């Protein structure tokens, strides 16, 4: 009986961890109003700038990262394989370049904090005062 309770508790905890959420972040000086649709457009290459005209440079994390999968599904409404196919087509035709990649939440935080043009995402709860959270999913 103790084993069953332990396994149930473990499954419950892992389900919360799997759906931790995603925070989209920008440099603290970025005063643009950025909604979910604008975020999607920036990350799929259909928008190249923020509302004030400043350059918008998306920063993503590697494919194997759980926060990346969650961002892709919740924000971009695409699976990892759909995104790969999408970017392959754009790169092949010369019509786009995929976002730069960071290796971790810590690297995204550091890069976004040092560049007002970057927009990135981290696991919910990872952001600190060096960046500004503009949306949570």
Tokens 């925070």 -> residue:
23
Give me the mean pLDDT over the 88-100 stretch.
95
Give me the mean pLDDT over the 8-15 stretch.
46
Give me the mean pLDDT over the 47-55 stretch.
96
- Pick the more confident residue, 23 or 6: 23
The listed CATH number (3.30.530.20, 3.40.50.11540, 3.30.1950.10, 3.40.190.10) that belongs to domain 21-136: 3.40.190.10
Domain boundaries, the chain: 21-136
Q: What is the pTM of this model?
A: 0.84
Give me the mean pLDDT over the 1-12 stretch.
47
């Amino acid at each position: 009986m103790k084993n069953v309770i332990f396994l149930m508790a473990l499954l419950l905890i892992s389900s919360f961890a799997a759906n931790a959420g995603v925070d989209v972040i920008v440099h603290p000086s970025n005063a643009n109003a950025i909604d979910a649709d604008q975020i999607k457009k920036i990350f799929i290459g259909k928008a190249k700038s923020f509302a004030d005209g400043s350059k918008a440079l998306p920063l993503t994390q590697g494919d194997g990262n759980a926060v990346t999968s969650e961002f892709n599904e919740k924000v971009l409404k695409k699976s990892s394989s759909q995104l790969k196919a999408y970017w392959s087509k754009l790169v092949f035709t010369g019509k786009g370049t995929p976002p730069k990649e960071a290796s971790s939440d810590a690297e995204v935080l550091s890069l976004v904090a040092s560049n007002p043009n970057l927009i990135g995402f981290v696991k919910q709860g990872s952001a600190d005062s060096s960046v500004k959270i503009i949306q949570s999913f």
